[in-house]
Amino acid sequence: MAERVFVGLGANLGDAGATLDAALAELAALPETMLVAVSSRYRSAPVDAQGPDYLNAVAELSTAIEPLPLLRLLQAIESRHGRERPYRNAPRTLDLDLLLHGQRRCVTPELVLPHPRLHERAFVLLPLLELAPDLVHPDWGPLAPCAERVRDQRIERLI
């Protein structure tokens, strides 16, 4: 049974725009998956890190892939694009975050769903709300009011 899934995309090394385009094509090609929508692109400052600004977006998928196998597929896409993890919040060629997988909750060493900081990061929350303005978090309720709390974060909607 297909679930409504949201994936955050980000990159701040190399040709970030081309990398996001390629990653979106790879998401669309996943088995049992349809790319439903993609947000505008946003430029945002790194959070708790140094380095160039990020290019961010959120993709909405409809997929029958379970959360942990989907996470592994996302990590494989990151690896194909040169993702390295030398330290926490390091600059990256590609970051794919599984934000929401339907209304599922999951807490494992590998994966926490819903993403525990999605309501605290403008670069995730604003593109997510662009795609689904009435989205309801399974624990906190409507996400739209959270946008007020991230107003002080530097972010620019590009296209």
CA distances for 108 relative to 67, 96, 114, 120, 140, angstroms: 11, 18, 12, 21, 20
Alpha-carbon span 72 to 81, nearest angstrom: 14
Catalytically annotated residue among 4, 48, 95, 151: 95
Catalytically annotated residue among 43, 48, 92, 152: 92
**C-alpha triplet 37, 42, 48: angle, nearest 5°:** 120
Active site residue 83: yes
Q: Which residue has the tokens 């339907």?
A: 102
Catalytically annotated residue among 83, 139, 154, 157: 83
Catalytically annotated residue among 4, 41, 53, 97: 97
Active site residue 151: no
Active site residue 97: yes
What the block records as the tokens of 80 is: 């194909």
CB 155 within 8 A of CB 122: yes
CB 60 within 8 A of CB 6: yes
Q: Does 69 sit behind a cis peptide bond, omega within 30 degrees of 0 on the bond before it?
A: no
Q: Which residues are catalytic?
A: 83, 92, 95, 97
